[in-house]
Amino acid sequence: MPVQTASQIRKLVVFVTLVVALLAAIWHANRTTRDQAAALTAAGSTQLREALQRLARLPDRASVTMNPGPINERQLRHVNAQLVGKVDVLVLGQSDADHMSQTFFRKGVRFYNGFLSNSFFAYHFEVFEDIVRAGGVPRLVLYDARCLTLVKEGDEPGYDTPPEDPIWWAGAPFRHKAQPPPPWYRDLDSLLSLQQTELTLQTWQDERQVRETVADLDKDTGASFRVVDRHVRSKVHRWLADGSRVYPGELDGVLSTRGSVRIEDSQGARKLNPQRVAMLEAFVRRMAATGTTVVLYSPPIDPRALTPGLTAQMTGAGRAAAQVAQRLGVDSCDLTLRAREIGCQDEDFYDQTHLSRACNRGIVRKLVSGCAPKTQQLLRDLVDPDVLKR
């Protein structure tokens, strides 16, 4: 083994020192960002609360700018529950449920879309729990249990998972209140993860935009929680008063599609995740025990993204969700591979998994027309008859 010179040793020491210092800086920044998110309380952000109050007063004219992700979305849902109050129909699930709309239901039906992007089932139940505490049990929960989630690798926390567990990368459930952080060595992997680092950078960018544009609160700058005209095209995502979302470039339900039609989440060693299936069952059981009616559905993915392997994965996941529904005595409707059948066209896909309002209307039409037989009469009582017209 060659002997290193004094100069080479000094260079190595400097290199290792710089790497350690950089990792320490990333860890500290990520820790600060995550602790701030975990410490959010029912009071929420003053800016967010004021924006939501204005949105509630101007539902036909206003929208609120947003950055997608569990941090912003959970904070909004938690604050908004007190403003929304009583709900008849609640939508839960991943981000592909985001275009389920108040317009699908009869006048007088109180609707709220509580989707959360890239999230745990526990976070969905948190939205349900907040809504129940604020206004009582909804009559109906439409639960987007998309098949792609069930074949995704990784852990899925239960509601009894300790709040200091590093798995709560977007913060422990709000019911835990603020918690002391775990020892630094407990969450080292989580805090140095690419996901947490991306979240930190996005948070800093949001804060910079707010500081730069605080003088004009209604200007559509891209910063979060600004009230802007819903009838003007925007470069950012926005919330509507019914809890649903508008995509960048979308106007009056017409999408500006983006990207390829390959589902990135389908790449690699994807297979049915028993822990995710078990947690789905656990949380649906808890919801059903309150007396609400739950319908599980899996929305369609873009048919152009399907491969034989992905089709087989989706079929297996759909079967697992149906078995969960059968054990719990609730309806299950798997539309993952049935986009064309319900009327979804190529232009209805913002990307491989996110759907237009028209395509979501087709989902509701399918549920009413027999895909949810146990719930069919309740659905007919709640859904606008015009939705049944193709």
Q: What is the pLDDT of residue 298?
A: 97
**The predicted structure's pLDDT at residue 212:** 45
pLDDT average, residue stretch 24-32: 79
At residue 38, the pLDDT reads: 55
pLDDT (average), residues 53-70: 90
Do residues 379 and 368 make contact, with C-beta atoms less than 8 angstroms apart? yes
Average pLDDT over residues 338-347: 94
Task: Read off the pLDDT of residues 89-123 as tens digits, 9 standing for 90 and up.
Answer: 999 999 999 999 999 999 999 999 999 998 999 99
pLDDT at 261: 62
Which tens digits make up the pLDDT trace of 362-378? 999 999 999 999 999 99
Backbone angles phi, psi at 111, to 5 degrees: -120, 145
For the chain, domains (ranges, CATH) are 47-177+222-388 (3.40.50.1110)
- Between 106-120, 128-142, 188-202, the lowest mean confidence (pLDDT) is in 188-202
Contact 332, 321 (CB under 8 A): yes
- In tens, the pLDDT along 78-92 reads 999 999 999 999 999
What is the reported pTM? 0.81
Q: Which of 159-163, 172-176, 283-287 has the highest mean pLDDT?
A: 283-287
More confident site: 194 or 18: 18
Tens-digit pLDDT profile for residues 224-267? 888 999 999 998 999 999 999 999 999 888 887 665 666 654 45
Check if the beta carbon of residue 334 is closer than 8 Å to that of residue 149.
no
Mean residue pLDDT of the chain comes to 86
Indicate if the pLDDT at residue 62 is higher than 90: yes
Task: Give which of 331, 349, 330 is closest to 339, Cα–Cα.
Answer: 349
> Above 50 in pLDDT, residue 284?
yes
pLDDT at 215: 42
Yes or no: say if 96 and 114 are a contact pair by the CB < 8 Å rule: no
pLDDT of residue 101: 97
Q: Which two structure tokens, joined as six digits, stand for 344? A: 């979804």
pLDDT at 58: 92
Mean pLDDT is highest, among 161-165, 204-208, 235-239, 332-336, for: 332-336
**For 25-50, what is the mean pLDDT?**
68
Q: What is the band of 282 on the pLDDT scale with cuts at 50, 70, 90?
A: very high
Look at strands 62-66 and 227-229 and give their pairing: antiparallel
Task: Give the mean model confidence (pLDDT) for residues 209-216.
Answer: 47
Residues 65 and 73: beta-carbon distance below 8 Å: no
